[in-house]
């Protein structure tokens, strides 16, 4: 993703001036092939808007999406769907209740005219088996299935095109706790088997801890920290990442990060705070923080005057 931004105009009436909401603010992010990039942040931080841009469901206001170095953002939704497929949070509302599972899973093949009817049917059977559903599931309707089974259907549909990137937007948060681990393990197994690449969106750091190779943390439309799972979980540098870890996980003994009580006090995104947007909640804010917006910086690079390295952590904080 190259310098992606998305600004919405919110309806103004006679009495109110129209406002703008910058849901995604100059986001650049590289998702390496064959890896899982976790994208975390509180609800409303822009993660789902980012997903919609990648799926061609909403155009960006600025910036590009590149796959293998080629910009595809101006391609239509159908062209994007060849490369990028989604698995959404609610497997019920994302599956057509009036279609049989075979039709649902085979839809991408029909849209793109891939294979004969017989080949498409064989592919559907193969996918259902891969996601652990019995053959008879093909003739069922979504309403006859459990939430976990429906999410397996959604996974089969997403993977039938062997997409370059799979966007998993909170794929387990609507499921029973007992089923969540099964679905996460299935996603990991399929990733290993087919060398898939995931952008895994979650508000819950504990979920991504087990599957992400890299993590990007978003706050009010911006990436504030990005690094490997190890860098983020053992040495978080941004105060917001530290706060997320403190509130989401049993803190590592000795990590000593303050719990700043996230959940309350998220600012109105139509009027983001000046400078560093995190400053009203930041336990180490200084006067400079409300004036200057920190850039997402490769800390090692600025110390060593070298070039940006893909494995270096990037942080947007004046005092990280
Ligand atoms: Fe806190 Fe300042 Fe860093 Fe923002 S720039 S996270 S307010 S210390
Ligand atoms: Mg969301």
pLDDT of res. 305:
55
Distance from the alpha carbon of residue 44 to the mean position of ligand 2, in angstroms: 7
What tokens does 260 get?
């700043």
Alpha helices in the chain (DSSP H): 47-54, 77-83, 101-111, 117-130, 147-159, 177-194, 205-209, 229-234, 239-248, 299-304
What residue owns the CA closest to ligand 1's atom 3?
317
Distance from the alpha carbon of residue 49 to the mean position of ligand 2, in angstroms: 8
Residues 6+ apart with CB under 8 A from 262: 42, 243, 244, 247, 281
Q: What are the residues whose beta carbon lies below 5 Å from ligand 2 (ion)?
A: 48
pLDDT of res. 129:
97
Choose one of 191, 212, 233: the last residue of a domain: 212
The reply to whether ligand 1 has any atom less than 6 angstroms from the CB of 282 is: yes
Give the mean model confidence (pLDDT) for residues 94-109.
Answer: 94
What residue owns the CA closest to ligand 1's atom 4?
276
Q: Band the pLDDT of 193: cuts 50, 70, 90.
A: very high
Question: Is there a single domain that holds both residue 175 and residue 278?
Answer: no
Alpha-carbon dihedral sign for residues 212, 214, 219, 223: negative
pLDDT of res. 14:
61
pLDDT of res. 255:
46
Structural domain includes residue 235: no
Question: Is there a single domain that holds both residue 187 and residue 55?
Answer: yes
Choose one of 160, 194, 212: the last residue of a domain: 212
Choose one of 193, 212, 231: the last residue of a domain: 212
Q: What is the pLDDT of residues 216-248, one digit of tens each?
A: 999 999 999 999 999 999 999 999 999 988 887
- Tally of structural domains, the chain: 2
Question: Is there a single domain that holds both residue 258 and residue 118?
Answer: no
**Cα(286)–Cα(284) distance, integer angstroms:** 7
pLDDT of res. 103:
96
Residues written for the chain: 320
Read off the DSSP letter of residue 213. S
Structural domain includes residue 251: yes
Structural domain includes residue 275: yes
Q: What is the pLDDT of residues 246-258, one digit of tens each?
A: 887 654 444 444 4
Distance from the alpha carbon of residue 14 to the mean position of ligand 1, in angstroms: 38
Classify strands 36-40 and 198-202 as parallel, antiparallel or unpaired: parallel
Structural domain includes residue 254: yes
Question: Is there a single domain that holds both residue 175 and residue 271?
Answer: no
Distance from the alpha carbon of residue 120 to the mean position of ligand 2, in angstroms: 32
Ligand nearest to the CA of 239: 1
Residue with tokens 């549909």: 157
pLDDT of res. 68:
85
- Where residue 30 falls (left for φ over 0; alpha for ψ -120 to 50; beta otherwise) is beta
Which of 164, 169, 139 has its CA nearest to residue 154? 169
Question: Is there a single domain that holds both residue 156 and residue 106?
Answer: yes
The answer to whether residue 173 scores a pLDDT higher than 70 is yes
The reply to whether ligand 1 has any atom less than 6 angstroms from the CB of 243 is: no
Question: Is there a single domain that holds both residue 47 and residue 144?
Answer: yes
Question: Is there a single domain that holds both residue 194 and residue 255?
Answer: no
SS3 7: strand
Distance from the alpha carbon of residue 47 to the mean position of ligand 2, in angstroms: 6
Domain that holds residue 152: 1-6+31-212
Which ligand 1 atom lies nearest to the CA of residue 318? 5
Which ligand 1 atom lies nearest to the CA of residue 282? 1
The reply to whether ligand 1 has any atom less than 6 angstroms from the CB of 198 is: no
What tokens does 210 get?
């087990």
Question: Is there a single domain that holds both residue 51 and residue 154?
Answer: yes
Structural domain includes residue 234: no
Question: Is there a single domain that holds both residue 46 and residue 144?
Answer: yes
pLDDT of res. 104:
96
What residue owns the CA closest to ligand 1's atom 7?
279
Centre a 10 Å sphere on the Cβ of residue 222 and count the other Cβ atoms it contains.
24
């Amino acid at each position: 993703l190259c310098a992606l931004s998305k600004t919405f105009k919110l309806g103004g009436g006679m009495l109110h001036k129209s406002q703008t909401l910058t849901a995604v603010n100059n986001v650049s992010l590289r998702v390496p092939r064959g890896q899982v990039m976790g994208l975390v942040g509180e609800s409303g931080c822009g993660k789902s808007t980012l997903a919609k841009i990648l799926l061609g469901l909403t155009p960006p206001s600025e910036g590009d999406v590149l796959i293998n170095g080629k910009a595809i953002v101006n391609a239509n939704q159908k062209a994007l769907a060849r490369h990028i497929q989604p698995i959404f949070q609610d497997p019920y509302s994302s599956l057509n209740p009036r279609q049989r599972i075979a039709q649902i899973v085979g839809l991408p093949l029909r849209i793109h005219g891939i294979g004969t009817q017989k080949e498409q049917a064989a592919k559907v059977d193969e996918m259902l088996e891969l996601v652990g559903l019995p053959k008879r599931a093909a003739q069922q309707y979504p309403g006859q299935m459990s939430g976990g089974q429906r999410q397996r259907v959604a996974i089969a549909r997403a993977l039938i095109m062997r997409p370059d990137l799979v966007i998993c937007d909170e794929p387990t948060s609507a499921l029973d706790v007992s089923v969540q681990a099964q679905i996460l393990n299935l996603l990991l197994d399929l990733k290993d088997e087919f060398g898939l690449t995931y952008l895994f969106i979650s508000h819950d750091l504990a979920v991504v801890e087990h599957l992400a190779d890299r993590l990007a943390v978003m706050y009010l439309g911006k990436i504030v920290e990005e690094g490997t799972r190890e860098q983020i979980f053992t040495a978080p540098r941004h105060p917001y990442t530290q706060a997320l870890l403190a509130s989401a996980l049993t803190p590592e003994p000795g990590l000593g990060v303050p719990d700043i009580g996230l959940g309350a006090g998220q600012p109105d995104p139509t009027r983001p705070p000046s400078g560093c947007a995190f400053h009203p909640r930041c336990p180490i804010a200084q006067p400079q923080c409300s004036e200057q917006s920190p850039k997402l910086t490769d800390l090692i690079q600025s110390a060593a005057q070298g070039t940006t390295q893909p494995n270096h952590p990037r942080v947007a904080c004046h005092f990280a």
